[in-house]
Amino acid sequence: MDLAPLRIALYFALSIFSIVVLGLAAARLHYTLNLPLGDPLNFGVSFHDPIVVELLVTSILTMLWSWHVIHVIHKRRETRFVSTFRGGFVVLFILWVMWLVGAAIATHASNPPQTNLRWGDLSSCWGFKACRILTAFLAFVWISWIVATIIFIIEILFVSQNNGALRGPYHGRWDPRRSEYGNEAGTTNMSQPRNTHMGFTW
């Protein structure tokens, strides 16, 4: 089974969700950094949520990484920059942790200085634009983490089913006749794949 189309679709979806998170985070920061006088939030005193900044950075890194992986899979690129599944797992795990930490903190973060107001309970303020933005922001943060989790699981299953895949090219279609690394990436099963189009078997 060739998982390349599925991986491309998932990484594309992750990049789209990251762009949405980026836009919502920017909108949130613009609002909190430019609070009008008399605004009930923080008594009209401008501030910024550190966790929003963290998720803004996470969304940018995820977006760039997703586009890189899509290019690697589509073009079967074998560059020295995170070229194997092992390297890809390291990057994906870091991003996965950043999404999880950001989502968890945002869900339970207080809006200063009202320590009793939590992001996880926004149902009572949907009449305000800022609240709707925050609700959508939190939802897409969790969606992004879920998609990253699905990608992680699929790639772990792929590697577990293919000997040598952990050290194989991240595009997942290793072919000894086309690989820039020759046999250094594979074991016996990889150096003699059943399907030369894929390189790996599922």
DSSP states along 135-199:
HHHHHHHHHHHHHHHHHHHHHHHHHHTSTTGGGSBTTS---TTT-TTTTTT--HHHHS-S-TTTS
23 has pLDDT over 90: yes
Q: Is 18 helix (H, G, I), strand (E, B) or coil?
A: helix
Q: What is the mean pLDDT of residues 65-74?
A: 88
Q: How large a percentage of the chain has pLDDT more than 70?
A: 64
Cα(131)–Cα(119) distance, integer angstroms: 9
Q: Which residue has the tokens 């399907």?
A: 195
CB of 53 within 8 A of CB of 29? yes
pLDDT confidence of 22, banded at 50, 70, 90?
very high
Cα 19 to chain center, whole Å?
11
pLDDT given at position 97: 98
CB of 122 within 8 A of CB of 135? yes
pLDDT confidence of 187, banded at 50, 70, 90?
very low
CB of 138 within 8 A of CB of 122? yes
54 has pLDDT over 80: yes
Q: What is the mean pLDDT of residues 75-98?
A: 80
CB of 152 within 8 A of CB of 10? no
Q: What is the mean pLDDT of residues 169-176?
A: 58
Q: Is 102 helix (H, G, I), strand (E, B) or coil?
A: helix
Q: What ranges do the domains of the chain cover?
A: 4-191
Comparison of pLDDT for 192 and 131, the residue scoring more = 131
104 has pLDDT over 60: yes
CA atoms within 13 A on the CB side of 167: 13
Q: pTM score, two decimals? A: 0.77
